[in-house]
Structure 1
Amino acid sequence: MMLQSAKLIGAGLATIGLAGVGAGVGIVFGAFVLAYSRNPSLKQQMLPYAILGFALTEAVGLFALMMAFLILFG
């Protein structure tokens, strides 16, 4: 009983990182929109950096989710 409740608490704490990922994706694309509105001619140079920032931020979220699943089912 005690081990099961500790697993559930640990998995819940591991998913806190997902809130940061949501904020991070918003910051990445918000900065992209702001940069595009300031200088539209650089869109083709800025878009790969925005996609890279999105991918790296989502990777952190996937790692947090993987850790939660490992705690629950491992």
Structure 2
Amino acid sequence: MAMARFVGVMLLVLFAAISILDAHQLQVSAKEMQYHLDSSRYGPGSLKSYQCPSQCSRRCGKTQYHKPCMFFCQKCCKKCLCVPPGYYGNKAICPCYNNWKTKEGGPKCP
């Protein structure tokens, strides 16, 4: 009887955890969708070169490696004329920024 109760409680906890994870995934998807809807604001060619320093300051604002982030972000921004939204990730919105690689094959743009 105690084992059945334990299994029942564990299943309940498992379902609750899955529900929480699904809700979080929906929030992330909604945020990503917002960026896709604003593609004219973030997408390729959405910036002028004089806007790169301010957009890179936003992009690199929370990193501990601020100088290298700013250097590479501005280099990428001037080539691609876009900087992805947020502090990290979201690079798919700006394919040029996303696809520019180092000689070793790693990402060039932060």
TM-score computed with the length of structure 2 as normaliser? 0.35
Structure with greater Cα Rg: 2
Structure with more helix by fraction:
1
TM-score computed with the length of structure 1 as normaliser? 0.48
